[in-house]
Amino acid sequence: MDTVTNQIVETGQTHRPARTLKEYLGLTARGFAMGASDVVPGVSGGTMAFILGIYEELINSIRDLLSPTAFKLLLRFKLKQALDVLPWKFLMAVGIGILLAILSLARFLEWMLLNHPALLWSFFFGLVAASIITVTKRVRSWHAKTMSATAIGAVVSFVVVGLVPVQTPDSFWFLFLSGAIAICAMILPGISGAFILVLLGKYEYVLSAVNNGDFIVLFWVAAGAAVGIVTFAQLLGWLFNRYHDMTVALLIGMMIGSLRKIWPWKEVILYGTDRHGEQIPIQMVNILPDAWTSEVTYALILAIIGFALVFSIDIWASRKEKLAAAEAGARA
């Protein structure tokens, strides 16, 4: 065994469980849910990763892409050993799901946002509200510091999602910067990467590029996202390893604050113009529905479905964890 391989054994990498093809398809389905969320300005793909129980593995897997051990192996042209170190199977499975969702759902979600926004927001409101409750179980010990972290996260998220979008250039450097900033928000539960694109004045521009196949625009955004996600994941991974409960508590607070943005019923108080000269709402306030209509009924049903879906997934995941623990105990 050579020196570099010895280093893998001695230092170790992020623990990655052996998975079957069926389990990798399950990861792709989770990625699809993340991608669907990322398209909507107000719902975070990070929130969905939290709900679906893959958030910490996702962050640590992205972090491992900068593994010094893998770089040493690549420099010595030991591709197979380098791939064994890198979490490429996990990231590819999740990434394929995200990409499929963005390419297949962009038009539908754009249509829903224009024609039935209350129904779409209601479903996501139910998802996020339920996830806040279920994720609290991941904090091992609630005390003054963790509760303070939750309060800070809620305030920060509440303020950010209430900001007013700005007009910005379409230059390649700004597209790169927008991708880098948005992807950082995209992996933070509570702050939507799509909404950050809205704030930067690039959501409609990028969504149009997806729908029209403008690969030059998409290249610069994707390049910025690639740089942003790998570098930001280093910080998040370090925080999880050093301050797990505080970090989870902070992220829970950010999800709480994000409920301001995804409340289904809104009133526009300020309009702006898009790059086509058409009027678009840029600042809204949350309101209660004027009357009990069929849309309100459907919205509540969708919110309940979203709420129940999260709890069903949480119960299923808990049972699976207990079964896996029992099997491990029996083998020991």
- pLDDT score of 96: 95
Separation CA 48–CA 33 (nearest Å): 7
DSSP, collapsed to helix, strand or coil, labels residue 195 as helix
Q: Is the pTM of this model over 0.75?
A: no
Q: Rounded to the nearest 10 degrees, how much is the dihedral formed by the CA atoms of 159, 162, 168, 174?
A: 50
Tracing tokens 């994000």 back to the chain, one arrives at 258
Using CA atoms, how far residue 276 sits from 86, 114, 280, in Å, is: 45, 16, 10
Q: How many residues does the chain have?
A: 332
Helix (H) or strand (E) holding 280: strand 279-286
DSSP state of 291: S
* Below-50 pLDDT ranges, the chain: 1-12
- pLDDT score of 24: 92
* CA neighbor of 154 nearest in space, from 179, 128, 134, 178: 128
CB 9 within 8 A of CB 85: no
Amino acid at 110: E
CB 188 within 8 A of CB 251: yes
- pLDDT score of 1: 39
Tracing tokens 């379409």 back to the chain, one arrives at 170
313-316: long-range pairs with CB below 8 Å, 24+: 313/51, 313/52, 313/53, 314/51, 314/134
- pLDDT score of 205: 83
Using CA atoms, how far residue 297 sits from 116, 125, 128, 188, 285, in Å, is: 13, 15, 19, 31, 21
* pLDDT tens per residue across span 169-204: 788 889 998 898 888 877 776 566 776 787 777 877
* pLDDT tens per residue across span 86-141: 888 999 999 999 989 888 887 787 788 778 888 888 988 887 788 788 878 888 88
CB 44 within 8 A of CB 185: yes
- pLDDT score of 2: 41
* CA neighbor of 150 nearest in space, from 251, 243, 50, 253: 253
- pLDDT score of 147: 95
- pLDDT score of 302: 92
* CA neighbor of 63 nearest in space, from 10, 14, 7, 11: 14
Residues sharing a CB contact under 8 Å with residue 151, sequence separation 6 or more, in sequence order: 253
- pLDDT score of 9: 35
- pLDDT score of 332: 63
Separation CA 197–CA 206 (nearest Å): 8
Separation CA 211–CA 293 (nearest Å): 33
What secondary structure, in 3-state letters, does 223-277 show?
Answer: HHHHHHHHHHHHHHHHHHHHCHHHHHHHHHHHHHHHHHHHCCCEEEEEEEECCCC
Q: Which ranges of 64-87 does DSSP label H, i.e. alpha helix?
A: 68-75, 79-85
